[in-house]
A and B are shown apart, each in its own frame.
Chain A
Amino acid sequence: MSTEILVFFIFVLAIFLGFELISKVPSMLHTPLMSGTNAIHGIIVLGGMLVLADAASTLAVALGFVAVVFGSANVFGGFMVTDRMLQMFKKKKK
């Protein structure tokens, strides 16, 4: 089996896992969940770092730089804003 097929297999399994993971989430947590998963796709910043490291032309460097800034804002902002939301969810103080 080629590597590409194996990687594709992982992809398919991850699709089902994603469905399973949130199928029972109460709607009160939908906003933090959306925001939290939004932060997780901020992993694109790694991609930005990798392509910027390889960038040779000025155009490529400029675009790679933008990709890193965007990805970094996505990942850091995403986790921080989710945490800020979640720290307010408290049970009644007795």
Chain B
Amino acid sequence: MSPFIAIIFIAVAVLFILGIKLLGSPKTARYGNLLAAFGMLIALAATIPLLGSGEETSLLKHGWSLNYTLMVVGLVIGLIIGAIGAYSVKMTAMPQMVALFNGVGGGAAALVASLEFLRRANSPEGITTFFAITMLFATLIGSLSFSGSLVAFSKLQGYLEKPHTFPGQNILNGLVLAVILGLCVYLTGWATTNSTAFVVMFSLALVFGVAMVMPIGGADMPVVISLLNSFTGLAVAADGFTINNISMIVAGTLVGSSGTLLTLLMCKAMNRPVTNVLFGAFGSTKSSSGAGAAHVGGGTVKPIQADEAALLLGNAQQVVIVPGYGMAVAQAQHSVRELSDELSKRGVEVRFAIHPVAGRMPGHMNVLLAEANVPYDQLCEMDAINPTMDRVDVCLVIGANDVVNPAAREEKSSPIYGMPIIEADRAKTVIVMKRSMAAGFAGIENLLFYKDNTRMLFGDAKASLQALITAVKAS
């Protein structure tokens, strides 16, 4: 690589760093993303002179070949798929889309590593131990991320939502992982050019990705996607080592480490160690017989009608709205904004309380409400809203469940005990909009529904909201 191109790649790395930095504040985030995209375009352009380091195929020396035609076609196909996906996806389906883009990235990382292995195994360059380690790492992590993301995608689409578990699952997964690692050691130390062992390793890594994500429930998918995102980053960094491209190393590592931190932050918000998310098979075995079940008959639920609820809302001074995944499912974010505007017009102070893990991705609710033109200074984080909750007249819970469950505070035996929650129950009146009395994704009974100050407004969130808006307007 000539010094000139090397300097361009350093500049690209700087653009990525600045881009991620600017993504950290709502004012500059869009600019940050465009800056990183600009860096990517420069990186693509700077790659052209590097193409074809081998003798026969060098573009500058030997001109065009079929490979280059395929390259252009491939880039265009990817661009079209990406654009269609990016602009047609509904905002509520955003987590799936990110999972899918992440998956194909992981797949590409695994393929790049494998091809470099194929090429070097048949060339005089040969395979050094350093090369073997980075290459195997990229293949393993990349293919795992690929298949894992596809399973995460299907789960979020609702195809495989329930956790799939069977006895001895963790042991079997452990065995598969042990075989994979054994093959990696064998390939590194003894048989650096054994392609059969390599293909077996590759296939097992794909299987392991499926086996790893399969037992995890839909509610934990944000954590899984975030983790797989950082995995793909690391695989890309490892690819950077194998094909000796420094901007790939820097970009991949930045994504890997920031993604790991993001994953840990999310687990912290749920008060569960990351190992529990990955191996706990939450909500499938434990909670069916869990302590929460004892409360089913312990209290009564007080239903409320829309017009009565509208009266409460219209006469309140302070209203806090807690959105959850139910709002996303019902596509109700626009109706929520309409209700909020209607109340604001009447002098009611409306704020939105966003739990860090509400929805299927961190910040999922913020994106949906932003789509519906709710200004972001009206959205409050959990820690800002909780101290003010005693002064709130009405707390309207729309399709949120576990993130407002006081069991996290009161019920020591509950699986979610200790998880920080939005303390909706401390408001003077709580109105919970819910389709039915079914338990949340964690499968835990919600103590909030049985509190004296709680009223349940049953029905589809969107229909109920429309009824509320009509009633508020009429009053």
The answer to whether A80 and B87 touch across the interface, beta carbons within 8 angstroms, is: yes
Closest A residue to B77 using CB positions: A69
The answer to whether A51 and B74 touch across the interface, beta carbons within 8 angstroms, is: no
Q: A44-B112, A49-B51, A73-B81 in contact; A38/B101 too (CB < 8 A)? A: yes
Interface residues of B in 365-382 (CB under 8 A from A): 366-367, 370-371, 373, 375-379, 381
Q: How many residues of B contact A (CB 8 A)?
A: 117
The answer to whether B50 and A50 touch across the interface, beta carbons within 8 angstroms, is: yes
The answer to whether A91 and B375 touch across the interface, beta carbons within 8 angstroms, is: yes
The answer to whether B249 and A11 touch across the interface, beta carbons within 8 angstroms, is: yes
Q: A27-B354, A52-B70, A56-B56 in contact; A70/B107 too (CB < 8 A)? A: yes
- Residues of chain B within 8 A of A63, CB atoms compared: 111, 114-115
Q: For the complex, is B250 an interface residue (Cβ under 8 Å from A)?
A: yes
Q: For the complex, is B175 an interface residue (Cβ under 8 Å from A)?
A: no
Distance of B245 from chain A, by nearest CB (Å): 6
- Residues of chain A within 8 A of B118, CB atoms compared: 57, 59-60
The answer to whether A43 and B40 touch across the interface, beta carbons within 8 angstroms, is: yes
Residue of B73, B94, B111 most packed against chain A (CB within 10 A) = B111
The answer to whether B362 and A72 touch across the interface, beta carbons within 8 angstroms, is: no
Q: For the complex, is A88 an interface residue (Cβ under 8 Å from B)?
A: yes
The answer to whether B98 and A81 touch across the interface, beta carbons within 8 angstroms, is: yes
The answer to whether A70 and B104 touch across the interface, beta carbons within 8 angstroms, is: yes
The answer to whether B376 and A43 touch across the interface, beta carbons within 8 angstroms, is: no
Q: Complex: how many Å from CA A89 to CA B30?
A: 9
Mask of A52-90 contacts with B, CB within 8 angstroms, 1/0? 111111011101111111111111111111111111111
Q: Complex: how many Å from CA A39 to CA B19?
A: 11
Question: In the complex, which of the residues A10, A32, A33, A41 contacts B105, with contact meaning CB atoms closer than 8 Å?
Answer: A41
Question: In the complex, which of the residues B77, B249, B362 contacts A34, with contact meaning CB atoms closer than 8 Å?
Answer: B362
Question: In the complex, which of the residues B67, B108, B366 contacts A74, with contact meaning CB atoms closer than 8 Å?
Answer: B108
Mask of B19-47 contacts with A, CB within 8 angstroms, 1/0? 11101111001101110110010011001
Q: Complex: how many Å from CA A39 to CA B86?
A: 12
- Residues of chain B within 8 A of A19, CB atoms compared: 257-258, 261
The answer to whether A47 and B109 touch across the interface, beta carbons within 8 angstroms, is: yes
Q: A21-B24, A22-B24, A31-B364 in contact; A79/B108 too (CB < 8 A)? A: no
Q: For the complex, is B68 an interface residue (Cβ under 8 Å from A)?
A: yes
The answer to whether A89 and B85 touch across the interface, beta carbons within 8 angstroms, is: no
The answer to whether B366 and A31 touch across the interface, beta carbons within 8 angstroms, is: yes
Question: In the complex, which of the residues A7, A16, A23, A65 contacts B74, with contact meaning CB atoms closer than 8 Å?
Answer: A65
Q: A43-B251, A52-B74 in contact; A89/B29 too (CB < 8 A)? A: yes
Q: For the complex, is A1 an interface residue (Cβ under 8 Å from B)?
A: no
Question: In the complex, which of the residues A32, A45, A91 contacts B44, with contact meaning CB atoms closer than 8 Å?
Answer: A45
Q: Complex: how many Å from CA A79 to CA B102?
A: 12
- Residues of chain A within 8 A of B378, CB atoms compared: 92
6 A-B pairs with C-beta separation under 8 A? A44-B248, A47-B109, A54-B57, A55-B119, A69-B77, A90-B373
Known contacts A22-B20, A27-B363, A50-B245; 17 further A-B pairs (Cβ under 8 A): A14-B250, A15-B257, A21-B254, A28-B26, A31-B362, A37-B258, A39-B40, A41-B102, A50-B47, A51-B116, A53-B71, A65-B73, A72-B81, A74-B82, A81-B94, A82-B33, A89-B376
Closest 7 CB pairs of A and B: A72-B78, A77-B82, A18-B257, A30-B362, A68-B74, A92-B375, A80-B86
